[in-house]
Amino acid sequence: MEIVDTEKEKREIIQRYRKLLRLAKPILKDDDAKVIKKAFNTSLRAHEGMRRRSGEPYVYHPLAVAQIAAEEIGLGTTSIVAALLHDVVEDTDIHIEEIERDFGHKVAQIIDGLTKISGVFDYGTSQQAENFRKMILTLSDDVRVILIKLADRLHNMRTLDSMPREKQLKIASETIYLYAPLAHRLGLYVIKSELEDLYLKYTDRETYDFIAEKIKETKAARDKFIKDFISPIERELKKANLDFVVKGRPKSIFSIWNKMKKQNIPFEEVYDLFAIRIIVDTSLENEKTACWKVYSIVTDFYKPNPDRLRDWISTPKTNGYESLHTTVMSKSGQWVEVQIRTTRMDEIAEKGYAAHWKYKEHSGAGQSGLERWITKVRELIEQADSSALEFVDDFRQNLFNEEVFVFTPKGELKILPYGATTLDFAFEIHSQIGMHCLGAKVNQKLVPLSYILKNGDQIEILTSSKQRPSEDWLKFVVSSKARTRIKDSLKEEKKKIAAEGKDIVIRKLSQLKMDLNNENLNQLLIHFNIKTPLELYYNVAKGTIDPKDIKKFTEVKELKKQEKKEQTESRTIIQEPSRKVGGTDSNMLLIGDNMDKIDYKLAKCCNPIPGDDVFGFVTVNEGIKIHRTNCPNAIELMSNYGYRVVKAKWTSQKELAFLAGLKITGVDRVGIINDITKVISTELKVNIRSITIDTNDGMFEGNIMLFVHDTKHLDKLIMKLAKVGDVINVRRIDSAN
């Protein structure tokens, strides 16, 4: 047993507390330092004797969260105090009333908000989504709750090493599912990037380490390139008497990985590995002029790509982000992204919401895009009649969206999510206009509801009192507001129709001498394979289900009872893993702490093979399915259904065949397919299940599904195929679809 040096720990705690005070010093007023000290002492007493899973004193955590809030988000005294105390109500004997008495209403309100949204990964799916909804609710009350929650999550992600593997996967997936998009929307780009990188580190360590190493290897060459690129620009900026700094930073590991994956290219072909940032220090009234002056100097030396100019100074993003982005061609034939902004804009870009407020106090500016967005969130929450899962899904869709800038007939600017249609615009103007929207005129031309808006479009909405929302409308709206209003309207309409259907069902059942009780209703739902009573009644009213068919259901009632019994027996795998092993040749998978051998299925969405990092997922009807941790469906499964995730790892097994997919691209020539299949079948004795090849303009692209023993076997095959003449790229894919 390790002996703890308590004196050393006490010194370390005091040192961390003093560092926090030093960081907070610039914003402290009057008795702020005393209040922070009081909060620190309260937290220290409350968490006395408590330790984190890593073995460290628990108080390290609230101190770290407070430090992130002060240093990396730029929050004030109230938030620092709330961060120091954020776990005391939930984890100790201190009540919220005591917090209010000792630290005031604001601190108590923030801690109450934080306590309500804790324990997100301990419950079932609807409970989990409900917790996410609570968190979003607090966003509309006091943004500081979310900002401290983000600081809390960032520290948890930084210290995830000490957690068991399945917890790492759940917490990391949840982070990428909601917390990183929230940080993005609140303008916390640095925190958003770190959360994404940490997600990759804990779900796909191999890829993370590979990209990190590549960035390190290319650092010297990158630094020289930046120095050469910026040198003539710096001379001109000095001549123009501009006060500036230049930063050249690589893109985040996650964004490089995303680009490699989306564009199917190796690391070496990611051309915009880094961005050069020119930050000008100037007064508020000269900001725009100074930025365009820098742009003019940059484009004097390097040719800009006209399609890659982004002016977020004239029209800032809704999260407050302001900057001028251009992509220019360097002398070495490489595209380089140059970001031009002022010191104020840079601080808002780094620290988001808190920095925005700091500058707002000085400028007395009106409501910002971010505040307008929070107002929209508030409206959305008040109006929403959807389930928690639906609500969170709609909300998430709007967190990462880029924006499109359009105008009303009177020239008023409206900012909508990228991909928004005329119908989204109609709902943005007013819910009732959206409900009765018939079409629109865009730039004086008639367009349908599904027309996708472009920057600068001027839109006039056409309405009709007879028009009503239909199910199809959901296919071409992207904004949360429009989706929520359409769904609510459809539900109301559905409820009216379903009421008629319910009467028909009651009449039919009474003819069969049966009542509409829960048991009979559930059996009807199973019989017609329908999820909810509302759907059943609606289908009966619409005639999709013939009332005569209700008669037939009594004939199979006994059969259904038997099926239900069998399903219940097969589902016992959820409570008690089966001891059965599917024969001596079966690959054995160890699941759970008791390391029992159990039956399982390999998920077809990602085709895991031995050597892959995997997890088990308990399905409702098909026992346990094994997925790769980087499966396309992993984030949603682990963040929404964390309670059904089980640990899984491969045991040593006999050489068995597992299905894997490869995508091969290259130059088309006579005999290329023969060369490829020769390597697969003759040299490596691998069985091919299917092969599809497409050729276009002298290039070919093929998908091959084949059987391999494990990841080493697959890697060897990829390496061999990459050496075939005229083959350009070989990579693993999840499936042939």
Q: Which amino acid is at 631?
A: C
* Distance, CA of 467 to CA of 319 (rounded, Å): 35
Q: Which amino acid is at 241?
A: N
Taking alpha carbons only, the member of 326, 313, 142 closest to residue 233 is 326
Burial category of 184 from C-beta neighbours within 10 Å (exposed 0-12, middle 13-18, buried 19 and up): buried
* Distance, CA of 58 to CA of 220 (rounded, Å): 41
* Distance, CA of 373 to CA of 356 (rounded, Å): 14
Burial category of 98 from C-beta neighbours within 10 Å (exposed 0-12, middle 13-18, buried 19 and up): middle
Taking alpha carbons only, the member of 88, 15, 13, 7 closest to residue 47 is 88
Residue of 31, 48, 90, 655 marked catalytic: 90
Tokens of 156: 């948890």
In the three-class reduction of DSSP (H, G, I as helix; E, B as strand; rest coil), residue 215 is classed as helix
- Strand 335-342 to strand 274-280: parallel, antiparallel, or no bridges (unpaired)? parallel
Residue of 9, 12, 91, 460 marked catalytic: 91
Active site includes 90?
yes
Phi, psi of 689 (to 5 degrees): -90, -45
Task: Give me the DSSP letters along 387-442.
Answer: -HHHHHHHHHHTTS--EEEEE-TT--EEEEETT-BHHHHHHHH-HHHHHTEEEEEE
Phi, psi of 187 (to 5 degrees): 80, 10
Helix or strand run (H / E) with residue 342:
strand 335-342
Phi, psi of 397 (to 5 degrees): -60, -30
Question: Could you tell me how many residues make up the chain?
Answer: 737
* Distance, CA of 714 to CA of 178 (rounded, Å): 34
Active site includes 734?
no
Rounded to 5°, angle at Cα 137 from 95 and 477: 165
Contact 388, 126 (CB under 8 A): yes
Contact 246, 234 (CB under 8 A): yes
Tokens of 679: 């390597």
Catalytic site residues?
90-91
